[in-house]
Amino acid sequence: MIIQAGPGTGKTRTLTARIAHLISKRQVDPGSILALTFTNKAAGELEKRIEKYVPKTKAPVLAATFHSFCLKLLKEYKGFNAVIVDESLRISLIREAMGEKIKKKAAKQVDQMISLCKQNLLSPDDDFKKVITDGKDVDNFNKVYQAYQTLCSQHNVADFEDLIFMAVKMLTSDEKIRSIVRKRYSYIFIDEYQDLNFGQYELFKLICEDNHIVVIGDPDQSIYGFRGSDKKYFKRFEIDFPGCEKVILTQNYRSSQTILDASFQMISKSLENEEKFKVFSDAKNTQKLMIKETATEYAEAVAIGKMIEKLVGGTSFFSMDAGKTDPDEQKEYSFADFAILYRTKRQGQTFINMFEKEGIPFQTADKNKLFEIEGIKQLINFCRNMVKSGDFPDELKECDTETVLKFLVKKEGLNKIIKGHEKAEQAFEKLLSISRLYNDLNDFLNALALNQDTDTLEFNVEKVSLMTLHAAKGLEFPVVFVAGCEQGLIPFAKDGKNIDDLEEERRLFYVAMTRAMDILCLTYAKKRSIYGKSLKRQQSFFIEDIEKKLTKMEKSVVRLKPRKKAKQLELF
Do 371 and 361 sit in the same domain of this protein? no
Contact present, 317 and 358 (Cβ < 8 Å): yes
Average pLDDT estimate for 536-562: 83
Tell whether the model's pLDDT for residue 169 goes beyond 70.
Answer: yes
Do 359 and 462 sit in the same domain of this protein? yes
Strand partners of residue 67: none
Distance CA(11)–CA(5), nearest Å, equals 6
Do 223 and 273 sit in the same domain of this protein? no
Which amino acid is located at 495 in the chain? D
Q: Kindly state whether residue 567 falls inside one of the protein's structural domains.
A: no
Do 441 and 425 sit in the same domain of this protein? yes
Label residues 352-376 b or e (16+ Cβ within 10 Å = b).
Answer: bebbbebbbebbbbbbebbbebebb
Distance CA(187)–CA(205), nearest Å, equals 13
Q: How confident is the model at residue 319 (pLDDT cuts 50, 70, 90)?
A: very low
Do 465 and 443 sit in the same domain of this protein? no
Distance CA(208)–CA(171), nearest Å, equals 12
Do 261 and 344 sit in the same domain of this protein? yes
pLDDT value, residue 571: 37
**Which of 122-126, 180-184, 429-433, 552-556 shows the highest mean pLDDT?**
180-184
Distance CA(36)–CA(66), nearest Å, equals 6
Final residue before a domain boundary, out of 155, 185, 210 = 155
pLDDT value, residue 320: 38
Average pLDDT estimate for 38-45: 88
533 against 571, higher pLDDT: 533
Question: What is the average pLDDT score of the chain?
Answer: 88
Q: How confident is the model at residue 314 (pLDDT cuts 50, 70, 90)?
A: very low
Final residue before a domain boundary, out of 387, 422, 456 = 456
Tell whether the model's pLDDT for residue 48 goes beyond 50.
Answer: yes
Tell whether the model's pLDDT for residue 211 goes beyond 60.
Answer: yes
Q: Kindly state whether residue 279 falls inside one of the protein's structural domains.
A: yes
Q: How confident is the model at residue 516 (pLDDT cuts 50, 70, 90)?
A: very high
Tell whether the model's pLDDT for residue 303 goes beyond 90.
Answer: yes
Distance CA(571)–CA(313), nearest Å, equals 22
Do 233 and 262 sit in the same domain of this protein? no
Average pLDDT estimate for 411-436: 87
CATH number at residue 73: 3.40.50.300
Distance CA(148)–CA(297), nearest Å, equals 40
Average pLDDT estimate for 306-328: 58
pLDDT value, residue 128: 78
Task: Give the residue among 111, 50, 7 at the shortest CA–CA distance from 480.
Answer: 7
Do 353 and 404 sit in the same domain of this protein? no
Tell whether the model's pLDDT for residue 57 goes beyond 80.
Answer: no
Tell whether the model's pLDDT for residue 317 goes beyond 50.
Answer: no
Average pLDDT estimate for 526-555: 90
Please tell me whether residue 496 adopts helix, strand or coil conformation: coil
pLDDT value, residue 556: 73
Q: Kindly state whether residue 566 falls inside one of the protein's structural domains.
A: no
Average pLDDT estimate for 181-203: 96
Q: How confident is the model at residue 384 (pLDDT cuts 50, 70, 90)?
A: confident
Per-residue pLDDT reduced to its tens digit, 393-422: 888 888 889 999 999 998 888 988 888 788
pLDDT value, residue 539: 94
pLDDT value, residue 336: 94
Final residue before a domain boundary, out of 199, 230, 249 = 249
Q: To the nearest whole percent, how much of the chain has pLDDT over 70?
A: 93
pLDDT value, residue 237: 94
Strand partners of residue 247: 3
Q: Kindly state whether residue 572 falls inside one of the protein's structural domains.
A: no
Q: How confident is the model at residue 134 (pLDDT cuts 50, 70, 90)?
A: low
pLDDT value, residue 324: 45
Q: Kindly state whether residue 166 falls inside one of the protein's structural domains.
A: no
89 against 291, higher pLDDT: 291
Q: Kindly state whether residue 479 falls inside one of the protein's structural domains.
A: yes
Q: Kindly state whether residue 421 falls inside one of the protein's structural domains.
A: yes
Strands 527-530 and 533-536: antiparallel
Q: Count of CB atoms within 10 A of residue 153's CB?
A: 11
Tell whether the model's pLDDT for residue 569 goes beyond 70.
Answer: no
Tell whether the model's pLDDT for residue 197 goes beyond 50.
Answer: yes
Q: How many domains does the chain have?
A: 4
Do 468 and 551 sit in the same domain of this protein? yes
pLDDT value, residue 557: 65
Q: To the nearest whole percent, how much of the chain has pLDDT over 90?
A: 56
Distance CA(322)–CA(271), nearest Å, equals 47
CATH number at residue 145: 1.10.10
**491 preceded by a cis bond (ω within 30 of 0):** yes
Do 262 and 118 sit in the same domain of this protein? no
Q: How confident is the model at residue 136 (pLDDT cuts 50, 70, 90)?
A: low
Distance CA(446)–CA(427), nearest Å, equals 18
Do 204 and 101 sit in the same domain of this protein? no
Q: How far apart are the first and last CA of the chain?
A: 40
Q: Kindly state whether residue 162 falls inside one of the protein's structural domains.
A: no
Q: How confident is the model at residue 570 (pLDDT cuts 50, 70, 90)?
A: very low
pLDDT value, residue 525: 95
Tell whether the model's pLDDT for residue 322 goes beyond 60.
Answer: no
CA distances, 44 to each of 5, 61, 328, 455 (Å): 20, 11, 38, 10
Tell whether the model's pLDDT for residue 114 goes beyond 60.
Answer: yes
What DSSP assignment string belongs to 402-451? HHHHHHHHHHTTTHHHHTT-HHHHHHHHHHHHHHTT-SSHHHHHHHHHH-
pLDDT value, residue 419: 86
Do 66 and 42 sit in the same domain of this protein? yes
- What residue numbers bound the domain in which 452 lies? 367-456
